[in-house]
A = this chain, B = another copy of it.
Amino acid sequence: MEPQTALLTDWYQLTMMSSYYELGMEDTAVFEFGFRRLPSERNFLIACGLEQVLDYLEHVHFTESEIEWLAATQRFSNAVLDRLRKFRFTGQVYAMPEGTLCFADEPLLRVTASLPEAQFVESRLVNLLHYQTLIASKAARCRLAAGSKALGDFGMRRAHGAEAAVYAARAAYIAGFDSTSNVEAARQFGIPLSGTMGHSFIEAHISEIDALRAFVRTQVVDVTLLVDTYDIQGGTERVVQLARESTNSPIKIAAVRIDSGNLGEEAHKVRRILDRGGCADINVFVSGGIDEYQIAALLRSGAPIDAFGVGTPLTTSSDVAALDCAYKLQQYAGLPRKKNSLWKSTWPGRRQVHRGYGDDGRIAMDVVSCADEVVEGKQLLSPVMQNGQRSFHSPPLAQVRHHCHEEIVTLPIALCSLDSGPRSPVKISHGLHQLVGELDAVKH
């Protein structure tokens, strides 16, 4: 699959686009992407995925063979197929920078383009922004729980496919993880790599001590040794033995890894064995289905853990596998639009988010307003694309990560908890309330 293939979309985007072309409905449309409600497990979100969205918008097109395939469906006129052949995204985009703290009811991104263009890009745009924001938000919770302890992304294998694995590593790094085990993500984004050893390495040797010794001898930097293949106490004692044997070795044993059992209890036992054996400088690394709740509980209980490998719960956001988000038509041909069903009504028109801070430097209030309304506070949406070309070039990933760190520092104290916090700090402006009142008076 071509990474920017226009066929990575929902079928109705193509059938609606066909109708728009046939009807000549190509006036300017404004769509906005945002999250509607947050589940009780999330007090905030970290905006993420903009870089991939801009890349998509710059390059999305139909190849000639894709056009032929579409023609064979007999669902499109030749005139429409010709339009698709020339299709490019030529619109404008405003967005929050990646790593920005945000909340439900806020637009993270606004697309302004001809109706067919702005509508068509919905499916992939949502696909990219939803997943990375989901994972960055989960990762930020892990970081809140872990304090200054090291966090590594170990979730490649059960991430939902290749792209998920790579983008999860990126999103987690932005939100405060220190490293990833995902080699492709490291290559693409320059994320530091981390890794230990697998149980199979131990099992392939006749004895555990042989396996540990062989690994140390054949690696070229400091290693983390797995101690739970047979029994954790015995494994740790073998590591102590090995550390004594190899005091002159250039390769140090940096840590031991516990991947099973009651991690808190085992960490205490392992720490004791290491300390008594004169290995106070060897760290304790734990993994095995860990999430932010377990990290918090382990550290609260005083477990002597230095680093966490977080896998499946991170890359699948397992407690909340998806968030309620939407890409909504806000305005068409100069008129604001809104959905008005009893169940899902929306805030219409072009919008902006204004953030106000308290004396403590933390967020006091976000105001969502009409884009041209005068409201105090820092504007969160700024132009990133003009006429289909980027006007914003993403800073290096380490800088995005730093921005995210500075954002999380501004999170209201009450929302820093892993438990469900009070209401979000988002208010709707007077102007936006007024606009809704006017639109609700209109009959359809």
* Interfacial residues, chain A to chain B (CB-CB below 8 A): 1, 3, 5, 7-16, 18-20, 22-23, 25, 29, 31, 66, 69, 73-77, 115, 119, 122-124, 126-128, 130-131, 134, 154, 156-168, 181-184, 186-188, 193-201, 203-204, 207-208, 214-215, 218-221, 228-232, 234, 260-261, 312, 316-318, 321-323, 325, 328-329, 332, 337-344, 444
Cβ distance A139 to chain B, nearest Cβ, rounded Å = 14
Structural contact, B66 and A161, CB atoms closer than 8 A: no
Q: How many copies does the complex hold?
A: 2
**Which of B7, B22, B119, B203 is in CB contact (< 8 Å) with A337?**
B203
Cβ distance A80 to chain B, nearest Cβ, rounded Å = 9
Interchain residue pairs with CB less than 8 A apart (18):
A9-B156, A9-B184, A10-B157, A11-B193, A11-B194, A15-B197, A130-B158, A131-B159, A134-B160, A160-B168, A160-B316, A163-B163, A199-B328, A203-B339, A204-B329, A204-B332, A231-B341, A232-B341
Structural contact, B22 and A218, CB atoms closer than 8 A: yes
A317 to B261, CA, bound (A): 27
**Assuming the A-B contacts A156-B127, A161-B160, A163-B164, are A444 and B207 also in contact, with contact meaning beta carbons closer than 8 angstroms in the complex?**
yes
* 8 extra A-B contacts, CB within 8 A, seeds A1-B162, A25-B204, A76-B220: A10-B183, A11-B181, A16-B197, A131-B159, A199-B329, A203-B329, A203-B337, A229-B339
A303 to B13, CA, bound (A): 29
Structural contact, A160 and B131, CB atoms closer than 8 A: yes
Cβ distance A74 to chain B, nearest Cβ, rounded Å = 7
For A16, list chain B residues within 8 Å (CB). Answer: 197-198, 200-201, 215
Kindly name the residue among A157, A231, A260, A342 whose own CB sees the greatest number of chain B CB atoms within 10 A. A157
A135 to B290, CA, bound (A): 23
A127 to B162, CA, bound (A): 7
**Which of B161, B230, B232, B312 is in CB contact (< 8 Å) with A161?**
B161
**Which of B7, B76, B157, B183 is in CB contact (< 8 Å) with A184?**
B7
Please provide the 5 A-B residue pairs with the shortest distance between their CB atoms, ordered closest to farther: A161-B163, A11-B195, A12-B195, A160-B160, A200-B329
Structural contact, B160 and A162, CB atoms closer than 8 A: no
For A77, list chain B residues within 8 Å (CB). Answer: 220
Kindly name the residue among A166, A187, A261 whose own CB sees the greatest number of chain B CB atoms within 10 A. A187
Kindly name the residue among A9, A11, A31 whose own CB sees the greatest number of chain B CB atoms within 10 A. A11
A338 to B199, CA, bound (A): 9
Cβ distance A69 to chain B, nearest Cβ, rounded Å = 5
